[in-house]
Amino acid sequence: MGGVTSRETPRTTPDTTAATAPEASGTGRRRLDLVADCGDCFGLCCVALPFAKSHDFAANKAAGSPCRNLQDDFRCGIHASLRDRGYPGCTVFDCFGAGQKVSQVTYEGVSWRERPKTARQMYEVFPVMRHLHELLWYLSDVLDLDRARPVHRDAERARADLERLTRASAGELLAADVPAIRDEVNTLLLKASELVRAQVPGRRKNHRGADLVGARLRKADLRGATLRGALLVAADLTGADLRHADLIGADLRDTNLTGADLTGALFLTQAQLNAARGDATTRVPQGLNRPAHWG
């Protein structure tokens, strides 16, 4: 879909650091269950999802086959050196807490190792849950935006409906019409985006879905721009002004964000930052962390 991207994000392993859940009352309560807790997960991202040998992964792995680095305790054996060992793709995926929800709620703490007959179904439920948790994260973003108050009531209702669905049975989850759900939520996200970006003076650039691979955008004025679903792979955004830009679904792999200002950027996730390049001068939105590999 146009805003909430259906493009699969590169996968990760247990222990990958996601955005820290804010401690402030409203935001913190909404996001606590949306931050990956690998200690309560059965390593689902390391088993359920496939990857191909490439720049992102040092080996091939089929869906439903445990990664060779997955340990008996469901942890990654090379987590501290993933990038050095050829698995940078594992550092830029965030399940938004779907792993522990499937492991501890849907399957009540019984792993695929303990009950092999549930394994295939569990692997099918996991990506569905991840999609739903991603939408819950974005709706939480909407509810944190003061200028999006006109859509807060609808966002609260949508969030409550989604939360109930994430606690349904495996059968109900697999029967869910995820594309339709994403379309409904995306309507709210678009409205919220327009309300927030309207505060930015002047003409706001529209690069929605644009192919900007390798684009030279040094010091570009992208305040309030829409970059929803844009391909910014290896683009040069050094010193760019991205305040209040809508970055939902934008592909930021190897994007140079050195010195860029992302203050107030809309729907930016930790996974997107992890995929990009930046430094100590890059200004990141509140609630997200400057990736350790940026130096």
All residues at 6 or more sequence positions from 266 whose CB lies less than 8 Å from its CB, including other chains:
141, 145, 192, 193, 196, 197, 244, 245, 246, 247, 248
Q: What is the pLDDT of residues 190-236, one digit of tens each?
A: 999 999 999 999 889 999 999 999 999 999 999 999 999 999 999 99
Average pLDDT over residues 57-61: 94
pLDDT at 22: 37
Domains of the chain by start residue, with CATH:
25-197 (no CATH), 202-289 (2.160.20.80)
Which H/E stretch holds residue 180? helix 178-197
pLDDT at 31: 74
pLDDT tier at 29, thresholds 50, 70, 90: low
How high is the mean pLDDT of the chain? Answer: 90
pLDDT tier at 32, thresholds 50, 70, 90: confident
Say if residue 252's pLDDT is above 80.
Answer: yes
pLDDT at 80: 87
pLDDT tier at 283, thresholds 50, 70, 90: very high
Phi, psi of 147 (to 5 degrees): -75, -10
Phi, psi of 185 (to 5 degrees): -65, -40
pLDDT tier at 26, thresholds 50, 70, 90: very low
E-strand stretches of the chain: none
